[in-house]
Structure 1
Amino acid sequence: MIRTAVPAEAERVVALHARARATYYPDGAPQDGTDWLAAWRSAIERPDGHVLCVVEQGRLVGLASFRTPEGAPVHTVKLFQFHVDPDHWRSGIGTALHTACVEQWRADGRHTAVLDVHVDNRRAQAFYARQGWSPDPENPPAEGDHHLWLRYAVPGERPGKERGTTGE
């Protein structure tokens, strides 16, 4: 089942986040002082954001956090976090969760989604490519940056275009 996360699940969300994130850091996830419990509580409680979670047999096995980032066009959404429990990789959970995100973006009137992915996270890069994400031409990689920016065109009709017209 895919549904909106609730504040009481924040500790479970942090645990899944840590398990998934640790897989793409060869020496373990860096400890940068981030209070992930506070960060996830904030994400779950934000009125301008969404945290979707996948629950199977009472266990949290996937999650996605997204919202319009500060200063971005109103029709753009940023996927801040997207994680599937490593024990459930290649089971279809990620694809189902991505589909749920796209449905929400479409319902919210979003046209474009962006994300950044760690350069060492090849598994995630391949997953996003299969979903239709591509390198963001407006954010090419900077020298020494450890993240790649990707862009996704949210399918659906655009406001102001009539069906059957070219828009020219």
Structure 2
Amino acid sequence: MRWWDIDPVLELERDLFPEDAWSRGMFWSELAHARGTTATRRYLVALAGGRLVGYAGLATAGDQADIQTIAVARDHWGTGLGSTLLTELLSAASEFECVEVMLECRVDNVRAQKLYERHGFAPIGFRRGYYQPGNVDALVMRLTTESDGGIAAGPASVQGTEIDG
């Protein structure tokens, strides 16, 4: 993701997460930490036919990573794009030498929970009222390092979609 991606990202963000959409400033702040030799973030966009159809972000601190966001345009649901974006973030976590990846997911977002479970994430708790202003609880999930030394990841390809980090 680059600064010129922020406007189309915001359009998708507002469509998918109308109650708790990130602001322009939040994305700018995350991107500021995604470049250079001291980068602690990885943000990606997915393009299909020149149109932004998905994005995802990961933050790291020491040996722990946190999935910040994953979003896929409604007309691309069920195509495997969410899985591809998640796989790319898990690869980034390995590059950052993280031994565990955490995330929060709305308790009412069963589609996302199933995606994370397919990739080896397990529920470990809840954050009450995490998503505001709707006061929706978050399910906290965690993925730990596999025995071969890397973060577990599933398949990573969707035909006709370009992932750009």
For normalisation by structure 1, the TM-score amounts to 0.74
Contact 1:7 1:45 in 2 (8 A): no
Deviations 1:87-134 (Å, cap 9, x if unpaired)? 100011111111111111111111110000111111111211122111
Deviations 1:125-150 (Å, cap 9, x if unpaired)? 121112211112xxx22566611100
Deviations 1:49-105 (Å, cap 9, x if unpaired)? 111111111111111111125xxxx11100011111111000111111111111111
Higher relative contact order (CA 8 A, sep 6+): 2
1:12 maps to amino acid: P
Tell me how far apart the structure 1 counterparts of residues 40 and 7 of structure 2 sit (CA, whole Å).
21
Rg larger for: 1
Contact 1:66 1:79 in 2 (8 A): yes
1:90 alignment counterpart: 78
Contact 2:55 2:71 in 1 (8 A): yes
Tell me how far apart the structure 2 counterparts of residues 130 and 154 of structure 1 sit (CA, whole Å).
15
Runs (5+) with no aligned partner, structure 2:
34-38, 131-136, 151-165
1:44 alignment counterpart: 31
Contact 2:58 2:65 in 1 (8 A): yes
Over aligned residue pairs, what C-alpha RMSD do you find?
A: 2.2
1:11 aligns with 2:3: no
Spell out structure 1 runs of 4+ moving beyond 6 A. none
More strand by share: 2
Tell me how far apart the structure 2 counterparts of residues 129 and 143 of structure 1 sit (CA, whole Å).
21
Shift of 1:156: 6.2
Tell me how far apart the structure 1 counterparts of residues 22 and 118 of structure 2 sit (CA, whole Å).
32
Tell me how far apart the structure 2 counterparts of residues 116 and 20 of structure 1 sit (CA, whole Å).
16
Runs (5+) with no aligned partner, structure 1:
22-28, 160-168
Shift of 1:155: 3.7
Count of residues paired in the alignment: 139
1:87 maps to amino acid: D
Contact 1:61 1:85 in 2 (8 A): yes
